[in-house]
Structure 1
């Protein structure tokens, strides 16, 4: 009996992606080993955090880096660093910014909820979000006109959750930041090209360690050395309840060292093409293969459900699969418009076979 079964739980089949709600990533043996070794020894945490910064810098191409408990805490810490810097008094007063600039400009189409509102993460760091433009229409002039002496940062969210139509590009946002000497933070939580986003000229970039990187539930901030020093300083303030343990730091660093070693090259396209061909024969299901909407090299099988022919709609299919044993979770962000996706990254060959069997049994194919 496994550790989950001992608690009365059933391990899930995760075809949704590297999702926080399903525990992030399944860890590589080398990551587990690094975490186990870290757990057996003491270390000076300040020294570990600085050495970790060197490893993060090498992996991302940035000047320095700071481990965090996740991308969400990374946003809060980055905002706090830009408001309080390394001043102990200001750090201890946060989230009250005092007389410091604290407005964080955010495109309205980027004001998303990724399990919690991004606005709340900014507020934890002492910032106040100012939304710019409309969800599907915002110009450089909108952004430029919102800059005042109270502006502390510009925040750009790179995610499938955000609206890109009619929006300002990151390059344009960075140009505005340069003109006004205002730092730009990029939340690239689930992105898989770790060197791309720091190379854009963003001052701070936030990643999740438990998604594309394949590490434990964790995250990191990378960027300019002086700003990363301020990020580390926040662990004596608002980041104290977000502190990252030695085991997690070592697991994250091992995942970074091994990142990209197991790339297959096709992003799951071949597997998902075969699966789509199989599931597309079920009544009421049209199956295709689509590339990730945020541009990453991930190919998913997409099932478009005709409720009349399938006997249930996409939302009902997702609920019934999740309620079974073992629970099966599809990517259901678009279930309300009849679309369900299958992400190849978290599922093994056995998971894939069980998933196909369950969907087939459900739809009577």
Structure 2
């Protein structure tokens, strides 16, 4: 199989992250020994919770699975019959999950699919171009089991309530708040705001494919009761547990600073010499400490359009994947975080070939 260059970010379609030797050693250790899995899950959850600064945590096979189990737990609580017969009884129990319309995104799968898989109903509030606290507050009813807040660059950013404001309303109304922070770099800044937090084990943490559900003891307990039922399809093996624990131990030690990211991207400045091309370094639209090169292509002057550039990069001997969400508007982004040694030079060379520099 040919490798590809990932200039898009920590994307599931490209394998998310590369694994460090420490993580690979953890996977090897876990895979080479036997464990009492119930105890291993419990002990690993405690260790991860300490790093996330929450009361408890559990490991799942993906962030999506963590969303499903979090919501399923809010429906059934600790009722053993409801846990075992989730989809038979969920429609007869309070099961409305509130989400702001601008947060109902497709991150590779529609987030609403995970809500429905958990046995809940999704209740959208606000509009695609904004939402108010009044919209949110007035939607809460006796059927409400929680609010789902998606912390992601995929979401509408303008005219939206802050996480802090949403958290305040949930606390006032006694409604559990789930924060989907799977795409975020920070894993220890949500415990005071949310009851349950969802992380990806393979994105910012750079561990094996996995998810983390962290939060208050009560809600983690509710979710964990589903391990032998709907959660059976979402379990992880011992090798994943030890790989993730190793990644948690390494978390933050090798993260590129904002200045390091800018330094790497400076090598693309040479592309400014090509007619119809402009390169700027821009910060992540959600305000995270992430910087990317934005390549603007004027098709009336340059050799081709931004859409053509995207396709040509993918069609090369070593395919290059960029952040191409706005290629139809004339620009693409290069994310330096997943790049390996020599990648930025190769990307720059290919862009010079394609654009005629």
**Is the deviation greater in 139-148 or in 266-275?**
266-275
TM-fit CA distance, 1:350: 1.0
Matches within 5 A, 1:198-237: 198-199=191-192, 201-237=193-229
Q: Which residue of 1 aligns with 2:350?
A: 358
Q: Which residue of 2 aligns with 1:340?
A: 332
Distance in 2 (CA, whole Å) between partners of 1:195 and 1:115 is 25
91 and 174 in structure 1: CA distance in 2 versus 1, 3 angstrom threshold: same
Q: Which residue of 1 aligns with 2:150?
A: 157
8 Å CA contact retained: 1:103, 1:150: yes
Distance in 2 (CA, whole Å) between partners of 1:126 and 1:361 is 52
1:320 aligns with 2:281: no
1:297 aligns with 2:297: no
Considering only aligned residues, what root-mean-square deviation do their CA atoms show, in Å?
Answer: 1.3
Question: What secondary structure sits across from 2:332 in the alignment?
Answer: strand
1:74 aligns with 2:66: yes
TM-score for the superposition, normalised by structure 1: 0.94
Q: Which residue of 1 aligns with 2:243?
A: 251
Distance in 2 (CA, whole Å) between partners of 1:268 and 1:303 is 19
Flag structure 1 segments of 5+ consecutive residues without an equivalent.
1-8
Question: What secondary structure sits across from 1:297 in the alignment?
Answer: coil
TM-fit CA distance, 1:64: 0.6
Distance in 2 (CA, whole Å) between partners of 1:54 and 1:30 is 20
Matches within 5 A, 1:123-162: 123-162=116-155
Equivalent of 1:109, from 102, 120, 133? 102
TM-fit CA distance, 1:251: 1.0
8 Å CA contact retained: 2:265, 2:344: no
Q: Which residue of 1 aligns with 2:54?
A: 62
1:38 aligns with 2:30: yes
Matches within 5 A, 1:22-37: 22-37=14-29
**Is the deviation greater in 262-271 or in 236-245?**
262-271
Question: What secondary structure sits across from 1:58 in the alignment?
Answer: helix
8 Å CA contact retained: 2:264, 2:344: no
Distance in 2 (CA, whole Å) between partners of 1:69 and 1:334 is 31
Equivalent of 2:186, from 164, 188, 193? 193
8 Å CA contact retained: 2:277, 2:296: yes
TM-fit CA distance, 1:267: 5.3
Distance in 1 (CA, whole Å) between partners of 2:256 and 2:314 is 29
Q: Which residue of 2 aligns with 1:171?
A: 164
Q: Which residue of 2 aligns with 1:3?
A: none
Distance in 1 (CA, whole Å) between partners of 2:198 and 2:22 is 24
Distance in 1 (CA, whole Å) between partners of 2:218 and 2:259 is 36
Q: Which residue of 2 aligns with 1:6?
A: none
TM-score for the superposition, normalised by structure 2: 0.96
Question: What secondary structure sits across from 1:106 in the alignment?
Answer: strand
User: How many residues are treated as equivalent by the alignment?
Assistant: 356
Q: Which residue of 1 aligns with 2:84?
A: 92
TM-fit CA distance, 1:138: 1.5
Question: What secondary structure sits across from 1:122 in the alignment?
Answer: helix
Deviations 1:3-45 (A, max 9, x none): xxxxxx2011101011000001000010011001111111111
**Is the deviation greater in 261-270 or in 236-245?**
261-270
Flag structure 2 segments of 5+ consecutive residues without an equivalent.
none
Distance in 1 (CA, whole Å) between partners of 2:183 and 2:33 is 31
8 Å CA contact retained: 1:333, 1:340: yes
Question: What secondary structure sits across from 2:321 in the alignment?
Answer: strand
Distance in 2 (CA, whole Å) between partners of 1:232 and 1:46 is 11
TM-fit CA distance, 1:171: 1.7
